Structure 1
Amino acid sequence: MVRAAGKHTSARLVLICVGLLGIALIADFLWASSSSSRFALIGANWAPPVSLLTPITIPNKGVDSQKNNTTTGRVLSATFADLPAPELKWEKMAAAPVPRLDGAAMQIKNLLYVFAGYGTIDYVHSHVDIYNFSDNTWGGRFDMPKEMAHSHLGMVTDGRYIYIVNGQYGPQCRGPTSHTFTLDTETKKWQNMPPLPVPRYAPATQLWRGRLHVMGGSKENRHTPAVDHWSLAVKDGKALEKEWRTEVPIPKGGPHRASIVYNDRLYVMGGQEGDFMAKPGSPIFKCSRRNEVVYGDVYMLDDEMKWKVLPPMPKPDSHIEFAWALVDNSVIIVGGTTEKHPITKKMVLVGEMFQFNFDTLNWSVIGKLPFRVKTTLVGFWKGWLYFTSGQRDKGPEDPAPKKVIGELWRTKLNLGS
């Protein structure tokens, strides 16, 4: 009787093991099918110059996968974050006077005006520095208005006047302001403009058809995405109206996206939903992490005044509001942040440059940066693409953000035909 019971027990164990193995095989098949479909969908929407869909195997027990990896250049262990991209020759130029995170920048001719930003999480800048592309020098520092936001700004220029829209006032995760200003770059004089209906963090901001457009951003709690879209008639640094006009809402809200006008069309690219918030009850408004969803969506507004969906970016990309430059018939986007690391759940920085061709509506990955970095401030002058400031990665094997920098780099762009 004892032996018979033992036989039955053994048989049951064998059946259980076989069943579990079958379930595992089915789950693995379904995961593989889902991943293949996702990659195929991405590939159908844009035209990369190289194959971008080669998965990187996640190593076990902390083994360095680069030791046995035959791919040249930087390879990120345990994530799909890095995309294969051509190596570029980067040249280090004169560093900015101060390091900046979440600053802002506008280029007018051969000058790059660099505004505000965090120096550290507990200290924010309240001045403007100017870089001269012609002689590789920084100078001409001057102060911002006391009421002006220090980070998460909306900003655009008409070639002389710079329009500045609200943002975060103070360090850590303090509240936003609805103040708006213009700066006359020839006289260095500031003027007030009508405040936004409500404050916003990092809204997409552009001049289009004689109106200053402000779109999306985060609401007053810094986390909830806003889809509001307002505009104000402006000319020569002055508002022609006393109140903002409500426009067609943006399809997806949130901060940290690029906004471009090209060929009389208004584009917004990338961004995220959600952001850090002030810790409840904290007297210093200490930043507290919340769930964020980064996306690569691209929308366009034209004569019909209806948002149209265009091919998405090569991968989700945020913190790019001043990380772009118009070059010929393309926009070049430099760095940013993408989806969280699949294992550590930490923020992952972007180490590539993307090109969007407005004529073909195709995306390309055109080169690697010297390191992964977010909130870059970008300019383009006489064939050279420049970026400065931001927060760089911890190193080639760790895409998480670490050091806030003031470095300035440039590379010669050769986009071909």
Structure 2
Amino acid sequence: MAAPGLVLICYSFLCHCFGSRRKDTDDPVLVKESNAMDSAPSVEMNPVPVNIPASPLRVPASPLRAPVSPLRVPPSPGRFSMSPKLDRIGSVHLTMRQVERATQNFSPSLKLGEGGFGTVYKAQLQDGQMVAIKRASKEHSDALRSEFRSEIELLAKIEHRNLVKLLGYVDKGNDRIIITEYVPNGTLREHLDGVHGNCLDFSQRLEISIDIAHGLTYLHLYAEKQIIHRDVKSSNILLTDRMRAKVADFGFARLGDTEPGKTHVLTKVKGTVGYLDPEYMRTYKLTPKSDVYSFGVLLVEILTGRRPVDSRRSMDEKVTIKWAFGKYNNGETMDLVDPQMREAVDKKIFKKMLNLAFQCAAPTRADRPEMKSVAEQLWAIRVKYLKRVGRE
């Protein structure tokens, strides 16, 4: 768990980095990146007064915004009751003994990944169905009980093709288990790292970005109550065999405020360094725009292939979004293309996606678009891209 002091020190450093004068440009976009480290640890900070000056750098409305698209993100017909009975959730009901059998007693060979909550395993049920089983760490079981319960209750309320589906759970004694659908093709970060062999081409990256935007739009607008994910990052995006994206890991998710006139939830800061909304860090006010900020950082990551922060690089390239904005502002947009993409990338399309990413990652939430608008703009970019490559 990263120390709050480290978070604030890095945040102040980045404020200073972005304080220098920028070139005049016809594209009024600006980004500011919160702190991050290679290991991307999770962060938790209590809401106490912190004197971090507000950024003087604001983002005016961009002239590059796409007009309202007729291809809007429709509400999903699949909704759960707001008061689900937890013992009736999902379609998989297992005892702890059955969980152990399905995971071969939590064999390391079946481990899919590890996070703040615990370890995720691939498992095969008696009927042959493949599932993912997330097991809370024993030493953190009691401390993470509220996060476990929160994730269960929130997952029970959502059903969307771009969100990982809850199938069941076990909560008995010291055992806390979440059972979800198995998404077989690993994480987005693994694919950007080339772990699975073939590099993602530009078309795949665009479709993945749209899928993520649709999933987040559902959470913000079309779930029974507004849900804020709070931990949008490349390692929490899972890919199917057909390279469709699903947003996973709702351990940090929170319900949005439902009181009339209220626009935020006052809560401790949780998330992953590198993707954290700087205004949320400064004020402890959580809104859906915090997810929009994280998505902006993620979109730059998808286009460049670089992690949000890479300590192995030179000082002017450590913070990817700062480096990317500098390149973009200097007219060196194509230097940002992930070198693993060997295809020719359309400059106008690439520039539109970067511009949208910078809008999302604006330092002040008032300057960020809504997630629904982001999804619509990405869809409009997709339409133009298909026309250019003759696939329409």
TM-score after normalising by structure 1: 0.30
More strand as a share of residues = 1
More helix as a share of residues = 2
Higher CA-based Rg: 1
Q: Which has the higher contact order (CA 8 A, sep 6+)?
A: 2
